[in-house]
Structure 1
Amino acid sequence: MADRAERFAGSLPAPSLILDAGCGPGRDLARLRTYGHVVRGVDLNPVFVAMANAHAPTSVGDLREVGRRFPAGTFDGIWASASLVHLDTADAVDVLGQFAELLRPGGRMYVCLKASGSTGWLDEPDGRRWYTVWDPDEFAAAVADAGFAVDGVDRGPYVEVWATRKWGMSGAW
């Protein structure tokens, strides 16, 4: 994941304002900051938020409402590593649209989620979590439909989409 953070950070001029959407305990906040960026985090888990605040300002928040937390056009980049996987398909599509609104035109987004396994609840050592498994082509299409130009799709057990917010929400550059 460190190489992906470096690749994403390098796609933006420093310093850029980046939102780590679903930042967990802040590992990627710290990584993105080392490349000269200003980072902010949001996560649903208050324990993770407390940990992430050691790396950058982070607040408790539900990604399904992230568009109400910040003004439109606030961010130069959005990093969403393994966070949308915990939303059902409809909510993930809605959040992608909110991400497009939060990014400045030409802003970059990285998002990855599961592309293998089964959709449903999974009992893990630290709790029960929902996972939605996406077909890579369907997810890339959802990103494009949300107002992004898809710059690249990496496939594997995870689908990773690299995208740029279009200049006009109508699709015009």
Structure 2
Amino acid sequence: MMSEDNLKGPNGEDVRSSVSQDAAVSSTDRFYEDHAVEYFSGTSGAQTQFVLDRFLSHLPANAAILDAGCGSGRDLKFFLSRGHCALGIDASTALVQMAAQHSGAPCEVARIESISYEDRFDGIWACASLLHLPRDAFRPALRCLTRALKRGGTLFMAVQEGQGEAILPDGRLYVYYSEDDIRRSLDAAGLAVNELWASRNSADAVHQPVWINVIATVR
């Protein structure tokens, strides 16, 4: 069972969950499968170019990129528009189909923590996807991503700042991290932090979660 001690949401609010990790993962998967159309509509037009360009500045021309948790395919489409070769993976069959159609990129149904690629990608984009993994699966997933990167390859990830973990009312598992948590986990996975910064979805949205954004390179 997930611990109920010291659970804090991204704004410091108390949260509690007594759901098993397997049930939490299943509940999260079910949300994205059942709400795929709604999720696609709400995210496919979001403006993320600043962060995407920041990530791409670390990659070579014609880079091979894995979008780990590709969702609507919004970012896959951007990568292709910049001349890169991109592959998307997502645990949701419905979203994989939508992402492939929207982006024109190949997409596969796969879980981040189960990928077996080796030395294949110049960059991996994991935007708001790793935060849905149970905490015990986080470091193993980072190791999988590190193996999938070429020597000197670059990972972008974004998670929410906070403490503990929670099942939100919509059924999704969220696991929260501090900057120190992230730095230690990346170091253990063989990744060196190049850039780390905090952000909100809107500059004046003080009640929105704080995102920890990281660009790291294989050592």
TM-score of the superposed pair, with normalisation by structure 1: 0.88
Instruction: Give the gaps of 5 or more residues in structure 1.
Output: 167-173
**Rg: which structure is higher?**
2
Range with bigger deviation, 103-112 or 31-40: 31-40
RMSD: 1.3
Q: Secondary structure at the match of 1:134?
A: coil
Out of 95, 100, 109, which is 1:48 matched to? 95
After TM superposition, list the pairs within 5 Å mapping 1:79-118 onto structure 2: 79-116=125-162
Q: For the residues of structure 2 that align with 1:41 and 1:93, how far apart are their CA atoms?
A: 21
Matched, 1:34 2:87: no
Query: Does 2:78 correspond to 1:63?
Result: no
Aligned match of 1:169: none
Instruction: Give the partner amino acid of 1:162.
Output: I
Partner of 2:173 in structure 1?
A: 130
Q: Counterpart amino acid of 1:133?
A: Y
**Number of aligned positions between the proteins:** 160
Q: Distance in 1 between matches of 2:49 and 2:162?
A: 22
Task: Report SS of the residue matched to 1:13.
Answer: coil
Name the structure where strand makes up a greater proportion of residues.
1
CA distance in 2, matches of 1:154, 1:88: 23
Task: State the Cα distance separating 1:118 from its structure 2 match.
Answer: 5.7
Relative contact order (C-alpha < 8 Å, sep 6+): which is higher? Answer: 2
- Confirm or deny: 8 A CA contact 1:112 1:161 kept in the other structure: yes
Contact 2:69 2:126 in 1 (8 A): yes
What residue number does 2:218 align with?
Answer: 165
Distance 1:6 1:35 in 2: 10
| 1:143 correspondence with 2:178 | no
Runs of 4 or more above 2 Å deviation: none
**Cα distance in 2 between the residues matched to 1:132 and 1:152:** 22
1:77 to 101, 105, 123: 123
CA displacement at 1:52 relative to structure 2: 0.9
Q: Equivalents in 1 of 2:79, 2:162: separation in Å?
A: 27
CA contact (8 A) 1:119 1:131 kept: yes
Structure 2: where are the runs of 5+ without partners? 1-47, 200-209
Please report how far the alpha carbon of residue 116 of structure 1 lies from its aligned counterpart in structure 2 after TM superposition.
3.5
1:1-35 per-position Cα deviation (integer Å, ceiling 9, x unaligned)? 22111111222111010000011111111112222
